[in-house]
Amino acid sequence: MATFRFNMISSDNKDARTQPYLSYFFDAPYLFFIIVYILRASPNSVVRHSINLNMNEFLRKIGLLDSFQIELSMNKSDFAKILIANLDDPGPDFFEEFSANNRVYKGTMKNDEFKIRRKRKYDHKTTSPSISGTLQQAGNKLIIDVELNGFSGWMIPPYIIMTVVYLSALSFFLFGDIAEDARGIALLVISIHAVFMFGGSYRRMKRSMRATKYDLERDLHFMMKDHVTHEEKV
């Protein structure tokens, strides 16, 4: 396992004694990631279910997981046909920002459930939350239970790397043999930079959650409105 250590230049034995403990401090993010990965991959469904529940509860508290309902006056089969016709393949596409077709969503629709996401735009201010939904027919009304998730597993490695980098820099300036004036300025700059980096990512995800919810409701009503209008003309 990778361990970060610094060769600190100091004649103080106290500083020398603190060095071994720093290695455990820097290993903590790696250990946390490995433990969570092993538990999530565990065949014990109870363990996996418990981890997912706790993670979902945390995401809901910070506003990166949201559930709501959309009601439409139509039946499930028509909705499924229209949605499938407006979806691109769910596979990875590194150039989807430059896609020429008019489809703005990609994903799958199977039975009474769908998993989609809005295509990425050439815009660094937003992300693409995942959208999952379940269909329920209640008379002439179609009730769609929607869940938006603004956090993706691919975000974990970058956050771990950033955490290790910032902790390494902070520890270097805290415990290294550096002038006090330079130490204070460096710690302040690093702390402010870390707040902007982590806070900026969080704000983008929150902004994307609000935008995706609005766009989804608008787009679904627009898709189905066109279909109903077409049927009436026929």
Does residue 200 lie in a domain region?
A: yes
- DSSP SS3 for 41: coil
pTM for this structure? 0.67
Number of folded domains that form the chain: 1
Domain that holds residue 188: 64-234
Does residue 3 lie in a domain region?
A: no
Supply the mean pLDDT for the chain: 76
- The 10s digit of each residue's pLDDT in 22-52 is 444 444 444 555 555 555 555 555 555 555 6
Residues 131 and 76: their CA atoms lie apart, in Å, by 18
H or E element that contains 66: strand 65-72
Q: How many helical (H) and strand (E) elements, i.e. helices and strands, does the chain have?
A: 5, 6
- The 10s digit of each residue's pLDDT in 121-132 is 766 556 789 999
Does residue 55 lie in a domain region?
A: no
Residues 155 and 186: their CA atoms lie apart, in Å, by 27
* Closest CA relative to residue 132, chosen from 90, 72, 73, 93: 90
Question: What pLDDT score does 182 carry?
Answer: 84
